[in-house]
Amino acid sequence: MSWTLRFSEPIIVPDGTKLTTLWDAVAHLTKIIPKAECNVPENLTASDLPAQAAGHNGPVEFARIATLQAIKRKAAMESRNRLDHRYGIRPLPMSEH
């Protein structure tokens, strides 16, 4: 397995960290995604595609896109929760697919 495969363009996360390899992407997602959300389809894809790229010469760019989607989903959830808290709205539970 080659977790050191590089993305064609690094992913720059909000804190300024650059994710340049498959390993960087998986390590970052492990830090930001809570265990309760591990089975969300976007997060499953974001964990599966880097493993496929590292182990089976899968497309690295698909892994990059899936990582971006998971990061974007996490940011949207945090933004929604901040707005809900600000306006006194109780967040709805996430539905499982």
pLDDT of 60 over the 70 cut: yes
pLDDT value of residue 96: 56
Question: What Rg, from alpha-carbon coordinates, does the chain have?
Answer: 15
Question: To the nearest whole percent, how much of the chain has pLDDT over 70?
Answer: 80
DSSP symbols for 9-74: EEEE-TTS-EEEEHHHHHHHHHHHS-GGGTTSHHHHHHHHHHHHHHHH---HHHHHHHHHHHHHHH
pLDDT, average across residues 3-16: 92
Q: What are the residue ranges spanned by the domains of the chain?
A: 6-86
Query: Could you read off the pLDDT of 22-50 as tens digits, one per residue?
Result: 999 999 988 988 888 888 888 888 888 99
Task: Give the closest residue to 65 by CA, choosing from 82, 92, 45.
Answer: 45
